[in-house]
Structure 1
Amino acid sequence: MSSLGLNLPLFLDYVSWGDHECTADPKICYERANLMVSNELPEILKRWSKPPYTQGTHNARASGAKGVLEKFLFGCIGEVLEDELRRIQDLAKCPPEDVSEEGLTSLFIEDLVLKLQSPGFDGTPMLWALLQHLTRTDSQEK
């Protein structure tokens, strides 16, 4: 890499659609596409977030990119959830004629839950999964 005047951040930037020549190169496109769907990518990202200790030394663990990844993921999750909530905004509206005892008591929570967790009915599957994750313990998941 150094013979090409590259360091690791530049290399990753170029391979990740940051350079026209890399974007147009069929070999790089093929390899990048394989990386994006590989089993290794999630493991690489986990190690970037929390690098392992270096074996055979007493050195502190490398700092990793946990803060950067968390900030990035928070932005991604926010976009997904905002999109899902926009799709269900009509479910949250209550027409004036329904603001009555009968209208408010005729709401079936089970129907609403089913709609929210269903991806095929403009539901909110990611929001639902996030709420499930946040409100259940590991033993409840089993």
Structure 2
Amino acid sequence: MKIYNLDELEGSCYIEVLPGPYRDRCWSEDSIYMDEETFGYLESAVTKEYEPYGHYAFNELDAERWMRIVNRLEETLVFLRGHPQAEELKDHIGFIFTSSETDFIDALEENMDQLIRLMQEFVDWISLQLQNHKVISRLGI
């Protein structure tokens, strides 16, 4: 579970989060990247705030919508820091693949710690980008 910079990528199966509008090209040095499963943990916050969301689509979301997503993620962080039971997780985080939930629960404590760090890092990055950008784009695989 990690947020990557461009120079750390291996292969091309990543979700890109680009500060600003889509510029007719992917793989920006300004972007951050997550593998599909990792972004899946955050995806439910996005889908709840952006109705036309498409997992594989390129989505440009305005600052107001991102702030609502950030608020949802912050609520999720409070929930996760409260040491919830495994069966409560599905209502708050996404499991993109069939095996994702099982694998997450198999190493629950370690994965919860990693997810909290990842989610906080993402919230902090989005908040920082919104100081200079009116739009942040989420580019599917």
TM-score bracket relative to the smaller structure = under 0.3
Relative contact order, higher structure (CA 8 A, sep 6+): 2
| Higher-helix-fraction structure | 1
Question: Higher Cα Rg: structure 1 or 2?
Answer: 1
| Higher-strand-fraction structure | 2
TM-score of the two chains, using structure 2 as the length reference? 0.26
